[in-house]
Chains A and B, each alone.
Chain A
Amino acid sequence: AQKITQTQPGMFVQEKEAVTLDCTYDTSDPSYGLFWYKQPSSGEMIFLIYQGSYDQQNATEGRYSLNFQKARKSANLVISASQLGDSAMYFCAMRVNTGGFKTIFGAGTRLFVKA
Protein backbone atom coordinates (compact mmCIF):
# COMPACT_ATOMS: atom_id res chain seq x y z
CA ALA A 1 0.00 0.00 0.00
CA GLN A 2 1.19 3.51 -0.74
CA LYS A 3 1.75 5.71 2.26
CA ILE A 4 3.37 9.01 3.20
CA THR A 5 4.53 9.59 6.77
CA GLN A 6 5.45 12.94 8.32
CA THR A 7 6.38 12.39 11.95
CA GLN A 8 6.85 16.02 12.99
CA PRO A 9 3.52 17.69 13.79
CA GLY A 10 5.28 20.98 14.49
CA MET A 11 8.74 22.48 14.10
CA PHE A 12 10.36 25.70 15.26
CA VAL A 13 13.27 27.39 13.54
CA GLN A 14 15.07 30.66 14.10
CA GLU A 15 14.91 33.16 11.29
CA LYS A 16 17.85 32.84 8.85
CA GLU A 17 18.64 29.30 9.97
CA ALA A 18 18.07 26.11 7.96
CA VAL A 19 15.43 23.54 8.84
CA THR A 20 14.74 19.98 7.69
CA LEU A 21 11.22 18.60 7.47
CA ASP A 22 11.07 14.82 7.47
CA CYS A 23 9.14 12.61 5.08
CA THR A 24 9.18 8.88 4.51
CA TYR A 25 7.17 7.01 1.95
CA ASP A 26 6.16 3.52 1.04
CA THR A 27 5.30 2.17 -2.38
CA SER A 28 5.96 -0.92 -4.45
CA ASP A 29 5.72 1.07 -7.68
CA PRO A 30 9.20 1.47 -9.25
CA SER A 31 8.19 4.78 -10.84
CA TYR A 32 6.85 7.53 -8.65
CA GLY A 33 7.15 11.21 -7.93
CA LEU A 34 7.65 13.02 -4.67
CA PHE A 35 6.41 16.53 -3.99
CA TRP A 36 6.38 19.14 -1.29
CA TYR A 37 3.61 21.70 -0.92
CA LYS A 38 3.25 24.71 1.33
CA GLN A 39 -0.08 25.76 2.80
CA PRO A 40 -0.14 29.22 4.44
CA SER A 41 -2.93 30.19 6.81
CA SER A 42 -4.95 31.39 3.80
CA GLY A 43 -5.46 27.74 2.84
CA GLU A 44 -4.02 27.82 -0.65
CA MET A 45 -1.75 24.96 -1.61
CA ILE A 46 1.53 25.99 -3.22
CA PHE A 47 3.72 23.52 -5.09
CA LEU A 48 7.35 23.83 -3.96
CA ILE A 49 9.52 21.08 -5.37
CA TYR A 50 9.46 17.76 -7.21
CA GLN A 51 11.72 14.69 -7.22
CA GLY A 52 11.31 11.80 -9.62
CA SER A 53 12.15 8.30 -8.45
CA TYR A 54 14.74 7.90 -11.21
CA ASP A 55 16.37 11.30 -10.75
CA GLN A 56 20.00 10.95 -9.75
CA GLN A 57 20.40 14.46 -8.42
CA ASN A 58 18.53 15.92 -5.48
CA ALA A 59 16.03 18.54 -6.59
CA THR A 60 16.58 22.19 -5.70
CA GLU A 61 14.36 25.24 -6.14
CA GLY A 62 15.80 28.41 -4.71
CA ARG A 63 15.94 28.03 -0.92
CA TYR A 64 14.24 24.63 -1.09
CA SER A 65 16.05 21.37 -1.61
CA LEU A 66 14.85 17.82 -1.40
CA ASN A 67 17.15 15.31 0.28
CA PHE A 68 16.19 12.13 -1.56
CA GLN A 69 17.44 8.87 -0.08
CA LYS A 70 15.84 6.17 -2.15
CA ALA A 71 17.11 3.16 -0.19
CA ARG A 72 15.71 4.65 3.01
CA LYS A 73 12.54 5.79 1.23
CA SER A 74 12.91 9.27 2.56
CA ALA A 75 12.37 12.64 0.90
CA ASN A 76 13.15 15.34 3.40
CA LEU A 77 12.65 19.02 2.59
CA VAL A 78 15.43 21.41 3.54
CA ILE A 79 14.64 25.11 3.75
CA SER A 80 17.72 27.27 3.93
CA ALA A 81 17.85 30.77 5.41
CA SER A 82 14.36 30.62 6.89
CA GLN A 83 12.15 33.67 6.59
CA LEU A 84 9.14 34.70 8.64
CA GLY A 85 6.98 34.09 5.57
CA ASP A 86 7.97 30.43 5.63
CA SER A 87 5.69 29.87 8.60
CA ALA A 88 3.03 27.52 7.24
CA MET A 89 1.94 23.89 6.97
CA TYR A 90 4.14 21.75 4.75
CA PHE A 91 2.91 18.60 3.09
CA CYS A 92 4.93 15.81 1.57
CA ALA A 93 3.15 13.97 -1.22
CA MET A 94 3.69 11.06 -3.56
CA ARG A 95 2.27 10.61 -7.02
CA VAL A 96 1.51 7.02 -7.89
CA ASN A 97 1.30 5.89 -11.47
CA THR A 98 -1.57 3.48 -11.05
CA GLY A 99 -4.40 5.23 -12.81
CA GLY A 100 -4.86 8.96 -13.06
CA PHE A 101 -1.53 9.98 -11.56
CA LYS A 102 -3.25 10.52 -8.26
CA THR A 103 -1.27 11.97 -5.41
CA ILE A 104 -1.45 11.00 -1.75
CA PHE A 105 -0.46 13.40 1.01
CA GLY A 106 1.11 13.12 4.42
CA ALA A 107 -0.45 14.61 7.53
CA GLY A 108 1.73 17.69 7.33
CA THR A 109 4.23 19.56 9.49
CA ARG A 110 3.52 23.02 10.84
CA LEU A 111 6.62 25.20 10.68
CA PHE A 112 7.01 28.21 12.94
CA VAL A 113 9.78 30.68 12.10
CA LYS A 114 10.87 32.81 15.07
CA ALA A 115 12.21 36.32 14.68
Chain B
Amino acid sequence: SQTIHQWPATLVQPVGSPLSLECTVEGTSNPNLYWYRQAAGRGLQLLFYSIGIDQISSEVPQNLSASRPQDRQFILSSKKLLLSDSGFYLCAWGTGSHGYTFGSGTRLTVV
Protein backbone atom coordinates (compact mmCIF):
# COMPACT_ATOMS: atom_id res chain seq x y z
CA SER B 1 0.00 0.00 0.00
CA GLN B 2 1.03 3.57 -0.54
CA THR B 3 2.36 5.61 2.35
CA ILE B 4 3.73 9.09 2.64
CA HIS B 5 6.24 10.23 5.22
CA GLN B 6 6.82 13.81 6.21
CA TRP B 7 9.21 15.18 8.78
CA PRO B 8 9.81 16.82 11.14
CA ALA B 9 6.43 17.09 12.87
CA THR B 10 7.23 20.40 14.52
CA LEU B 11 9.93 22.95 13.99
CA VAL B 12 10.82 26.24 15.62
CA GLN B 13 13.28 28.31 13.62
CA PRO B 14 14.66 31.85 13.99
CA VAL B 15 14.07 34.46 11.35
CA GLY B 16 16.77 34.32 8.71
CA SER B 17 17.61 30.66 9.24
CA PRO B 18 17.38 28.06 6.46
CA LEU B 19 14.63 25.46 6.12
CA SER B 20 14.43 21.97 4.72
CA LEU B 21 11.30 19.85 4.94
CA GLU B 22 11.31 16.42 3.40
CA CYS B 23 8.56 14.21 2.08
CA THR B 24 8.89 10.68 0.72
CA VAL B 25 6.34 8.37 -0.80
CA GLU B 26 6.37 4.58 -0.76
CA GLY B 27 4.41 2.04 -2.73
CA THR B 28 3.94 3.99 -5.94
CA SER B 29 6.06 5.25 -8.79
CA ASN B 30 6.02 8.57 -10.63
CA PRO B 31 3.48 10.16 -8.28
CA ASN B 32 2.27 13.73 -8.60
CA LEU B 33 3.55 15.49 -5.50
CA TYR B 34 2.32 18.66 -3.83
CA TRP B 35 3.31 21.05 -1.07
CA TYR B 36 0.57 23.01 0.69
CA ARG B 37 0.67 25.53 3.50
CA GLN B 38 -2.14 26.14 5.94
CA ALA B 39 -2.23 29.28 8.05
CA ALA B 40 -3.93 28.96 11.43
CA GLY B 41 -7.67 28.39 10.98
CA ARG B 42 -7.46 28.78 7.24
CA GLY B 43 -7.67 26.68 4.10
CA LEU B 44 -4.81 25.11 2.20
CA GLN B 45 -2.70 27.15 -0.16
CA LEU B 46 -0.91 25.28 -2.92
CA LEU B 47 2.78 26.17 -2.96
CA PHE B 48 4.41 23.77 -5.40
CA TYR B 49 3.55 20.71 -7.42
CA SER B 50 5.65 18.24 -9.33
CA ILE B 51 4.74 15.74 -12.03
CA GLY B 52 8.21 14.20 -12.24
CA ILE B 53 11.86 14.39 -11.26
CA ASP B 54 13.18 17.95 -11.51
CA GLN B 55 9.77 19.13 -12.79
CA ILE B 56 8.54 21.70 -10.31
CA SER B 57 5.79 24.27 -10.74
CA SER B 58 5.45 27.18 -8.37
CA GLU B 59 2.03 28.55 -7.59
CA VAL B 60 2.87 31.47 -5.34
CA PRO B 61 5.97 33.65 -5.66
CA GLN B 62 7.59 33.66 -2.24
CA ASN B 63 10.52 32.93 -0.08
CA LEU B 64 10.35 29.17 -0.61
CA SER B 65 11.61 26.70 -3.20
CA ALA B 66 11.03 23.04 -3.90
CA SER B 67 13.08 20.25 -5.38
CA ARG B 68 12.47 16.67 -6.44
CA PRO B 69 15.83 14.94 -6.67
CA GLN B 70 14.30 11.46 -6.78
CA ASP B 71 11.01 10.10 -8.03
CA ARG B 72 9.48 9.68 -4.58
CA GLN B 73 11.20 12.51 -2.73
CA PHE B 74 9.94 16.09 -2.52
CA ILE B 75 11.79 18.77 -0.55
CA LEU B 76 10.64 22.20 0.52
CA SER B 77 13.40 24.70 1.28
CA SER B 78 14.16 28.25 2.18
CA LYS B 79 17.48 30.07 2.43
CA LYS B 80 16.20 32.65 4.91
CA LEU B 81 12.95 32.23 6.78
CA LEU B 82 10.53 35.09 7.37
CA LEU B 83 7.98 35.40 10.15
CA SER B 84 5.27 35.03 7.52
CA ASP B 85 6.57 31.57 6.65
CA SER B 86 5.04 30.20 9.86
CA GLY B 87 2.27 27.70 9.26
CA PHE B 88 1.32 24.08 8.86
CA TYR B 89 3.00 22.48 5.85
CA LEU B 90 1.48 19.46 4.22
CA CYS B 91 2.92 17.21 1.57
CA ALA B 92 0.54 15.17 -0.57
CA TRP B 93 0.51 12.80 -3.47
CA GLY B 94 -2.35 11.78 -5.66
CA THR B 95 -3.82 11.23 -9.08
CA GLY B 96 -7.26 11.16 -10.65
CA SER B 97 -10.30 10.41 -8.61
CA HIS B 98 -8.78 8.91 -5.52
CA GLY B 99 -8.16 12.14 -3.70
CA TYR B 100 -4.87 13.08 -2.21
CA THR B 101 -3.01 11.20 0.44
CA PHE B 102 -1.49 13.69 2.82
CA GLY B 103 1.49 13.44 5.08
CA SER B 104 1.07 14.13 8.76
CA GLY B 105 2.28 17.71 8.35
CA THR B 106 4.99 19.95 9.79
CA ARG B 107 4.06 22.76 12.12
CA LEU B 108 6.63 25.50 11.52
CA THR B 109 6.98 28.46 13.85
CA VAL B 110 9.38 31.19 12.86
CA VAL B 111 10.46 33.30 15.81
A101 lies within 8 A of B102 (CB): no
In the complex, identify which listed stretch (A11-19, A40-48, A75-83) lies at the interface while the others stay far away. Answer: A40-48
Q: Does residue B27 face the partner (Cβ distance < 8 Å to A)?
A: no
In the complex, how many angstroms separate the beta carbon of B77 from the nearest chain A beta carbon?
20
Q: Provided the pairs A43-B88, A45-B90 are in contact, do residues A100 and B99 lie with their beta carbons within 8 angstroms?
A: no
- Residues from chain B with a CB closer than 8 A to the CB of A50 are 97-99
- Of residues 29 through 75 on chain A, the ones whose CB sits less than 8 Å from some CB of chain B are 33, 35, 37, 43-45, 47-48, 50, 52
- Of residues 82 through 114 on chain A, the ones whose CB sits less than 8 Å from some CB of chain B are 91, 93, 99-108
Q: Which residue of B lies closest to A36 (CB)?
A: B99
Question: In whole angstroms, what is the CA distance A108 to B51 when docked?
Answer: 27
Q: Which residue of A lies closest to B107 (CB)?
A: A43
- Of residues 78 through 111 on chain B, the ones whose CB sits less than 8 Å from some CB of chain A are 88, 90, 92, 94-102, 104-105, 107
B34 lies within 8 A of A102 (CB): yes
Chain B interface residues toward A at CB < 8 A:
32, 34, 36, 42-46, 49-51, 57, 59, 88, 90, 92, 94-102, 104-105, 107
- Residues from chain B with a CB closer than 8 A to the CB of A48 are 99
B43 lies within 8 A of A47 (CB): no
Question: In whole angstroms, what is the CA distance A105 to B107 when docked?
Answer: 19
Residue of A44, A50, A101, A104 most packed against chain B (CB within 10 A): A101
In the complex, how many angstroms separate the beta carbon of B43 from the nearest chain A beta carbon?
4
In the complex, how many angstroms separate the beta carbon of B107 from the nearest chain A beta carbon?
7
In the complex, how many angstroms separate the beta carbon of A50 from the nearest chain B beta carbon?
5
B43 lies within 8 A of A91 (CB): yes
A108 lies within 8 A of B101 (CB): no
Q: Which residue of A lies closest to B97 (CB)?
A: A50
- Residues from chain B with a CB closer than 8 A to the CB of A100 are 32, 49-51, 57
Question: In whole angstroms, what is the CA distance A33 to B97 when docked?
Answer: 7
Question: In whole angstroms, what is the CA distance A93 to B99 when docked?
Answer: 10
In the complex, how many angstroms separate the beta carbon of B31 from the nearest chain A beta carbon?
11
Q: Which residue of B lies closest to A104 (CB)?
A: B46
B46 lies within 8 A of A102 (CB): yes
